[in-house]
Structure 1
Amino acid sequence: MPYLSVKGTKTFYLCTSGKSGNFLPVVLIHGAGGSSQRWSGQFSNWQNQETLFAVDLPGHGNSEGALLKDIGSMAEFIADFAQALALETFILGGHSMGGAVAQEFTLRYPEKVKGLILIGTGARLRVAQSILDALAAGKMPFKDVNHLYGSATPDEQKAGEMKELEKISPEVFWADFHACNEFDRVGDAEKIQVPSLILVGDEDVMTPVKYAQFLASKLPGADLKVIGSAGHMCMEEKAAEVAEEIRSFLNQFRISASGANV
């Protein structure tokens, strides 16, 4: 399994070889309580031409290190991760909390991000106080995963996802949700000046379509795509469709023999 030392922290990540070398690399960031495995459906739908990286944030998945306290700290970790991989410029993508991190990183390091992929996210990510209180008390407030998946997802798959969810510590969810609750870039979203692809499931109740519409209205040149019959985890529920939308978006970032975008 690929590991990387990021400022002395053993960090796990998934990657593809990107054999063609014709595209800028893509760095993907998971959502709250997640890991790089949330992108496995995307990896399986690529043609191994593009170079993709999906990282486990500290304290998540197979990465070591302490949980990060806020979205800004996560953005700085991504900066360190990119530096450890010697990535000068790249496309940055994120789901839910990862989308918040991607926005924050782009606002801090606009020269490094050539394109932005935002999935099931918003410029502000409020979390109900009752959820935060339950997690702070060490209790999981979720009885099922209907809030994550759309109606087209089979019940048996949802049951399996719930079992996986129960393996994650309430401490991890509390740290992530607290970071999300403190995140607010509503007044700064229009400062993001890179081409953006915004994806959202039409049945997403966590970050509804209106969140994506707000981002699309603020980010210049943003391309909004609503994925039908999908919930908050649309990149898993409709993996092939989402992969095709991302691949189409990436075509504008092809690299010529001279190293310039074509």
Structure 2
Amino acid sequence: MGTTAQKPFVLIVDNDKEWNKAEVERWLEKEGCKAVTAPNYGSAVRLAHKIKGRVGVLFTDVILSEERSGIDLLRYFDLYLPNFVCYAVGYEHILKPTLKREAIWAGAEAVLYKPVSFEDLRIFVMRPQAIKRARMAVYDNMTGLMSRGVFTEVATTTLHSARRHKEPLSLLFIDANDLKMVNDTYGHEAGDRVLEIIASAIREHSRTYDHPCRWAGDEFVILLQGANENDAHRRVHDLKKAVEEKVFDVRGGESIKLSISVGVTELFPEDRDIIELVSRADEAMYKDKGSRGR
């Protein structure tokens, strides 16, 4: 997939006026990275959630502000943004051993002294083992969507948060229609291309705070934060239309019309874990598939 070949997105979070972040940003962009800076916790989280299908690298000052520190930011990224490789930065006189240990426990791969040199940035931005681990852990190789293992972790945390704040939460279970026919008639390469096209439509119709995932084979799920069942059904209508508008040309000038079946459910008070939502949405998907052609 093209997404895994991209250089990482770099996010620098610091309100230190002595560190010339604009110069760092320009230098990183010359290296082929998309680089942005943020002054605080809130703006960093908003920027990071806009990154989909791409590995990110975070450099955050350990202090930031009295309200939300860099340690708090590292913990947030560790929980909710596993596509980021994270580093803590700070001046040597501030980074006492206890603070360095706290940063590592919060999720930092390493702790760097300021000012960070361009050479150090190059080494840590492109650090191959950390980047490879982030890609393999987070993304499905074929579709570029979140992997099932990471989705389960993120969805579990999101479910507990929705319960705590009494917010709605819904889940879509999506199945590619007629994929076996495509595989048998045109070969598995064509079937793989169908899955990539459907995954592309899913990405295009996911908000920054949704969690789309390739669940298994020709099945996908999307966790919709802040959406009740009625909201979710409206999203299904738009997603089905988007998939049906995509035509896949195969050999000999033939074309395949694509379609999906989708099941919807929302979080119930008695749900113990995310698997209960997935199972219920899976059943609803089969009902939707059975209604085709009626």
Normalising by the residue count of structure 1, what TM-score does the alignment of the two structures yield? 0.38
Q: Answer 1 or 2: which has greater helix percent.
A: 2
Q: Answer 1 or 2: which has greater strand percent.
A: 2
Which protein has greater RCO, CA pairs closer than 8 Å, 6+ apart?
1
Normalising by the residue count of structure 2, what TM-score does the alignment of the two structures yield? 0.34
